[in-house]
Structure 1
């Protein structure tokens, strides 16, 4: 990467716009989806509007990271923006739930190209000692988008056709693409590498099958769940066989198994599982068990989004002084401490305790994620940086998906064995969330049963969070580069 001819400031602005486009998409769609589903019908497919995006994003992240190493960052970024914007335009014209899911699948492919490659560009343009500050800006973009997204979605859905939920991406994406075209300059890449198409196909099939299985298993084992697991296992074996026999594998085992990368990604994987539990179940606990308003529940979760950029900012400013590994270890200690506070919650607890746990977990994530990403990038040469960055993003996405499945299964089990052996029905839970449970006469019993089920979920979250500590302790010490990045 010839950073001397690239306008770094404007490229960073384009990267932040790209990240905001992906980040806001998640929250803005979740806000508007109830109204969209009411118009399109087939409510049974509701969850797949979200799962389909995450499925293709996770399955293609590693593939695009490798392609960025072969063909350069700029072509992959522009391809990702084109796919994302095309899918956004088509989603606005969706005429049914299956068509919406199809366009979300395409949108996820675009996001799979954008997220890891944009982070790789930051590593190309800035030395390790400066990179943390820029990554801190990107973390702030994600946090701000999580707050702005629901508000923006609510404004659009009440004042404009719902199609604008997706079309709002178009001007942002076009502006980012223009900045990349004008201000991001790369050297010509003379590398001639045969692309491992078969390996990429096996990888995409295996990860897609795993994601489908994890999504379906929350509702219990069925024939489709078992079939997805079988396809995952067969395609995974075929993928490993393919990668061992080709000269230029799509996913190089020697890169993924390097000690710094392997343990940094493992730490991020466990952390993402724990955070998924927090974002999914803490608002439910505050609203139902603590009997607080949705506003208070939202505030408790928002503390995560306050702590995260604070931790990221501190990590970005201090890792050159203390080192990446020590900051990762400190971050790994904060996350289980936060989960301990959630385990201590009782029906008589103050929502301040829940908010404090959320704040501490967010702060730990800010310290851990930035340090793990920079350490991963510093562990490889510039020619493998896209693949290494993609492995970090992949670990986050897979951890989030597995966390939702595992913790969702714990909650389902708890609800089915609570209330003196009588399972709590979805209708009873919905009535409690809507505030009508007490009127039905059994609200207090359901609330107590839900407290036991969520308490078990928080205990499992804590056990997962504890695993982050040995993963970080296993990361070797690595000195960050002070010099400007060399041309890739």
Structure 2
């Protein structure tokens, strides 16, 4: 059934971009408002869980939503996910304690797992491989716009209104996206027998929740070498092994492992994992280096990070034009080289390098992310049938989200360990939290020059270890890209909707 005459593709694309913007801007806009939120609600010790709770639920559910979209269609699952997200957003604004906000962020994250993968899958459905490669540039621009506008919107809301509107601003935009998808996207009616893999979904959710909890809270709520830590990771791994065993026997598995037999999909997903690690390393610790070591104001630190968000959509747009002509391998290989170059520049960066050096380093990483992510998502969607496109798209996004979580745990441990080791080696009576004194001009001005110099040298040296690990993952990404088969983009558009 050809439904192109009924589906208004430009308006569906606008609706999809609007939905993606709502999901993408959430991180930056909330980050900007968090100091004001913490000041009013208290409970600073639970600060990190405002982000972790959202990350946990959105990462755990992304695979499930992808499969459900294949079974029941994109529209109903998209509406369910976005509705849960908007309800969570409304509730977040009514939170009166930090504990309530964490619970409401869990609800928000539960819905967020549907927004990105299904929005991207809808684009895969309504455009051919050749068209899709170009359209991905528009989708990637959403990330750049959200990265630039999110902090500005969040800052204005906190300064002139109330932090509650940081969450409520999502609601009208989300509703508008739902209206556009409802009226302008027509899906084919499928006569497919539905067999929901409840056991697989339960095992996947429980195993990933435990593993992600161990990654996020390990070294904070409990020691990595403690009995609690050992039991958590053991149970998480056992449940995940049971999930794999169950999926191999399921009639209609939650995760069709057959798609991973395609080497392009396998290595694209593995590279998405490693680039997810790189992304969190740069975005989390570059502002700390620029403010703490270079002594630049927060707005300059934000500019250095924004450079990555500029490089990303530019590279995505270019990748869309190059992909059909040169194929996945060549485009992603250039992206891998750009990731290594940007990471090397971070390793060579010193306090005297200046913010422009940091911005260019960030820009090259953004170019690498744009070239690889666009190449992979277009190729993956073109390599599977419509019935598997939701699961395949979700799997790729899950790998990047999981990479973010793994990276957050790795880099937190590397930075804290390096700082403590340096303090002990130089017999300095400082704690990791003393680094906070470097992060604002007011706090730095209250420090004796000798103490500030010692702390800056410690932060500089410790962040060099962080960037060395970023470089390591960039090199791993490049090696994995070398395993991708050469050739043009695979096209599987016979059943395009």
TM-score (norm 1): 0.96
Q: Quick check: 476-485 or 324-333, which moved more?
A: 476-485
Per-residue CA deviations over 1:282-323 (Å, capped at 9, x if unaligned) read 111121222222222222111111111111111011211111
1:69 deviation in Å?
A: 0.7
- Asked if 1:183 corresponds to 2:184, the answer is yes
- Distance in 2, matches of 1:468 and 1:28, equals 30
How far the C-alpha of 1:61 sits from its partner, in A, is 0.5
Q: Which residue of 1 aligns with 2:459?
A: 450
Distance 1:390 1:275 in 2: 18
Equivalence map 1:12-411=2 (5 Å): 12-219=13-220, 220-221=223-224, 222=226, 224-411=228-415
Do the aligned residues in 1 keep the contact of 2:273 with 2:403 (CA within 8 Å)?
A: yes
The offset of 1:391, in angstroms, is 0.7
1:429 to 432, 435, 444: 435
- Does the 8 Å contact 2:127/2:496 carry over to 1? no
Rounded to whole Å, the distance in 2 between the matches of 1:200 and 1:255 is: 18
8 Å Cα contact 1:324-1:372 kept in structure 2? yes
Q: Which moved more, 1:38-47 or 1:401-410?
A: 38-47
Q: Distance in 2 between matches of 1:181 and 1:337?
A: 44
Residue by residue over 1:333-355, the C-alpha shift from the partner in whole angstroms, topping out at 9 and shown as x without a partner, is 11011100111112322222211
Partner of 1:459: 468
Q: State the distance in 1 between where 2:117 and 2:430 align.
A: 41
Q: Deviations over 1:88-145 (max 9, x none)?
A: 1111111222221111111112111111111011011101111122211111111110
Question: Conserved in 1, the CA contact under 8 Å of 2:38 and 2:47?
Answer: yes
Distance in 2 (CA, whole Å) between partners of 1:102 and 1:227 is 25
Cα distance in 2 between the residues matched to 1:449 and 1:94: 39
8 Å CA contact 1:66–1:387 kept in 2: the answer is yes
User: Cα deviations across residues 402-460 of structure 1 (Å, max 9, x unaligned)?
Assistant: 11111111111110111315474244211111233463321101111111101111111
- What is the CA–CA distance in structure 1 between the aligned matches of 2:85 and 2:53, rounded to whole Å? 14
Residue 154 (structure 1) shift: 1.1
Residues 264-287 of structure 1, C-alpha deviation per residue, up to 9 Å, x if partnerless? 011111111112111111111121
In structure 1, C-alpha distance between the alignment counterparts of 2:490 and 2:261, rounded to whole Å: 22
Secondary structure of the 2:195 match is coil
The 8 Å contact of residues 256 and 391 in structure 1, kept in 2 or not, is answered as: no
Q: Distance in 2 between matches of 1:185 and 1:364?
A: 35
Q: Indicate the larger mover: 246-255 or 260-269.
A: 246-255
Judge conservation of contact 2:383–2:491 (CA < 8 Å) in 1. no
In 2, Cα distance between equivalents of 1:188 and 1:261: 28
Query: Does the aligned pair in 2 maintain the 1:417–1:423 contact within 8 Å?
Result: no
Q: CA deviation at 1:485?
A: 5.6
Whole-angstrom distance in 1 between the partners of 2:256 and 2:395: 11
Can you give the 5+ residue segments of structure 1 that lack an aligned partner in the other structure? none
Where do residues 3-14 of structure 1 align in structure 2 (5 Å cutoff)? 3-14=4-15
More deviation, 315-324/473-482: 473-482
Aligned pair in 2 of structure 1 residues 225, 422: CA closer, same or farther (>3 Å)? farther
Q: CA offsets, 1:368-400, max 9 Å, x none? A: 100011111112111100000001100110011
Q: Cα offset for 1:170?
A: 1.1
Q: Secondary structure at the match of 2:20?
A: helix
Where structure 2 has 5 or more consecutive residues not aligned to the other structure, the ranges are: none
Comparing 37-46 and 218-227, the one that deviates more: 218-227
The answer (yes or no) to whether the contact 1:432–1:438 under 8 Å persists in 2 is no
Counterpart-to-counterpart distance in 2, 1:408 and 1:52? 17
Distance 1:53 1:461 in 2: 24
State the SS of the aligned residue for 1:4. Answer: coil
Aligned length: 488
- Aligned-pair distance for 1:216? 1.1
SS of 1:39's equivalent? helix
> 3-state SS of the aligned residue for 1:2?
coil
CA distance, structure 2, for counterparts of residue 394 and residue 482 of structure 1:
23
Bigger mean CA deviation after superposition, 220-229 or 233-242: 220-229
